Amino acid sequence: MTPRSATSAPATPRAESFAESSAFGRMPLLPGEREYGSAGAHATCFAFAIATWCFLVGGYTAELVGAVQGVVCLLAGNLIGVFLTTMPLSLGCQRYGLEQIDFCKPAFGQRGARVILVFYLINMIGWSGLILVMFGNGIRNIAEALGYQPGGWIVGAGVALGLGLSYWIVTRGVHLLNVSNAIITPCLVVLIGYIVWVLFREHGWQAIASAPPLDPGPRPWLNYLIAFELGVANGISWWGGIGFIARNTRTPRISVYPQILQLGLSGGVVACVALFSALVVKSEDPTEWMVPIGGVGMGVVALVFVVLANVTSVAVSFYASGLALRHVPAFRALSWQRVIGLLIVLCLPFVFWPEELYGQGDAFLAYNGTMYAPISGILFADYFLVRRQRLCLWSIFDDHPSRAYHYSRGFHWPALACVVLGQAVYLWLFNPITSETHPLFQLLPASLAACIVPAVLYAIAARIWAPPVPVAATADDAPDRLLTPNI
C-alpha cells in the first residue's frame, strides 16, 4: 500500500507474462481475470486505508482543531473527497479494465494524460519523502528512548537507509513486497487497537475531547474550515490508488462501495485515532506518540513496527510509480532497476533537508487537493456527462493521430486549461503555504470549488470543441484497428 497508490502483488518486469502484465501493467483486464469479489475488495481497501500516512493527516489536523471538530472534519472531508474522486475512476476503470492514466486519455488526450502522470508522480514522491522522514524520526526517537543522544544527522541518514531498503525490496520483486504487506497490515491493526485502548484507559474521552489544538490560528471558524479542507484533500489524495483496485473488481458495486466505506470511512477513523494521540501527547509527529502512550518498552516496539511499516509503504509507492513511468516511451526500454533508481534520486532532497520538507507536510496535503480536485471534477464531467460512460478502447491504446483521443498533437487543451483554472480557483480561495483565505472560502471549500468549477466549464467546452466520437465509428472506420499500439 502506498500513500495514494495501491498494488498488492506487483509483477516483476523480468518475469512478465501476459497474465502478469495485464494484471499489474496496462493491458485491459477481462472480467474473468479480475480477482476481487466483495470481501477481497473490502480487505484490500481496508489494508490501504489504515496505513501510516493516516497518522500524519491526523497529526496535521490536531494543530488546528480539537477532538470533536477534528473527527467531524476528518470523517466528513475524507468521505466527500473519496466520493468525488472514486465515482468516475471506479466505474470507468471497472467497466473497461483500465488503469487510471489510461482512463485519463479520453479527457486529456494521449499526451495530455502524461501531464496527469506528472501530478501523480509529484504526489507519490512527496508522500514517500514525508514517510521516509517519519522513518528517520522514528530511528532517532528509538535511539533517544534507549538513552542515546544522536545528532540531527540521524534523520537524514534514516531517510537514506529507508531509500536503500525500499530500493532493495522493490527490485527483488513481488514476493518480498507481498510478504511484508501480509505482515504489516495485521500488525497495524493491532497497533491502532492498542493505541485506542491505552488512550481511553489512561486518559478517557473527557481528557481527549477537552485537549486544546496544538497550534491553532486566531479565528476558530477558519481553523475548522482548513481542517475540513485537509480532510477533503486526504480523501481526494486516494486518486492514485483507486484505479488499480477498481479494475480488479468484478462489478461496479464492488468497485465503489469498498472504496467509500474503507478508504473514506475506515481511513478517516484511523486518522481520528492519530488526532487523539497528537492532542494527548501534544505533538503532531507520530513517532513521538509511542513512548509517551505505551511506555519505553511497548513504545520502542511500536516505534520499530511503525518504522518498518513506513518502508513497506514507500516500497509499494515506488513500485506503483515505476509502473506509471512505463507510460512514457523513454522509460519503457529502461531496466526496472534504473527506473526505480530514478525515483530514488528524486527523493534525495529529503535526505539533505528532512525537517524543512517535513514541516511543509500539511501544505503538501492541501496541495494534493489542488492537484487532484480539478482532475477529479473533469473526469467526472467527461465520463458521465460528455461520454455517457462510453469509451473507445481502440483510441486509448493507439497513438495514431487519426484516433479519437489524439485531439491536438496528443493534447486535449480544454481539459488541461480547466485543470489550470481549477488550481487557480483553489489558490485564490485558499493558499496552503500561507493559509491565507478569500472571504468566499467560508461558503465553498477550496477543494470543492476546484472540483466543481472546472467540471462545469469542461462539460461546456467539450460540447463546443470536441463532441465525443461514437465508439462504433472509431472502431470500424479506421483501416486497421491498432495502427500505433502504445503498449
Site for another protein, rule CB under 8 A:
18, 21-22, 27-28, 30-31, 68-69, 72-73, 75-77, 79-80, 82-83, 87, 91, 94-97, 221, 224-225, 228, 250-254, 256-257, 260, 264, 329, 393-394, 397, 399-402, 475, 479-485, 487
Is 46 or 394 the residue whose CB approaches another protein more closely?
A: 394
CA distance 92 to 390: 9
166 touches 318 (CB < 8 A): yes
Least distance from another protein to the Cβ atom of residue 401, Å: 5
**Minimal distance, residue 394 CB to another protein, in Å:** 6
Whose Cβ is closer to another protein: residue 111's or residue 140's? 111
Contact assessment for residue 453 and residue 445, using Cβ atoms and an 8 Å cutoff: no
- DSSP state string for 193-257: HHHHHHHHHHTHHHHHHHPPPSS--S-HHHHHHHHHHHHHHHHHTTHHHHHHHHHTBSSHHHHHH
Measured CA to CA, the distance from residue 133 to residue 156 in angstroms comes to: 7
| 3-state secondary structure (DSSP) of residue 411 | strand
Residue 385: closest CA among 455, 452, 453, 454: 455
Residue type, 438: H
In the complex, least distance from residue 36 CB atom to another protein, rounded to whole angstroms: 12
| DSSP state for residue 161 in the 8-state scheme | H
The three three-digit cell numbers of residue 410, written as one number: 496528443
Please, which residue, 193 or 485, has the CB nearer to another protein?
485
Min. distance of Cβ 486 from another protein in angstroms? 9
Grid cell of 211 as nine digits: 485537549
CB nearer another protein, residue 140 or residue 327: 327
Minimum gap (Å) between residue 43 Cβ and another protein:
19
CA 111-324-416 angle, to 5 degrees, is: 35
Q: What's the angle, vertex CA 56, arms to CA 354 and CA 135, rounded to 5?
A: 45
- Quote the crossing angle between the two packed helices 67-96 and 53-62, to the nearest 10°: 140
Q: Name which of 301 and 444 has its Cβ closer to another protein.
A: 444
Work out how close the CB of 143 gets to another protein at its nearest, in angstroms, rounded to a whole number: 41
Closer CB to another protein, 254 or 351, in the complex: 254
Among 310, 323, 7, CA closest to 165 = 310
The Cα angle at residue 350 between residues 101 and 426, in degrees rounded to 5:
50
What's the maximum distance between 2 C-alpha atoms anywhere in the chain?
A: 74
Q: Give the nearer residue to another protein in terms of CB position, either 27 or 307.
A: 27
Cβ closest to another protein, residue 254 vs residue 320: 254
Q: Which residue number, 152 or 485, has a Cβ lying nearer to another protein?
A: 485
| Smallest separation (angstroms) from another protein to the CB of 138 | 33
What's the min distance (Å) between Cβ of 211 and another protein? Answer: 17
CB of 229 to another protein, least distance (A): 11
Nearest 5°: CA angle at 46, between 23 and 133?
Answer: 90
- Asked if residues 99 and 247 have their Cβ atoms less than 8 Å apart, the reply is yes
We find the least distance from the C-beta atom of residue 442 to another protein, in angstroms, to be 10
DSSP lists the bridge partners of residue 408 as: 411
Comparing CB distances to another protein, the nearer of 91 and 121 is 91
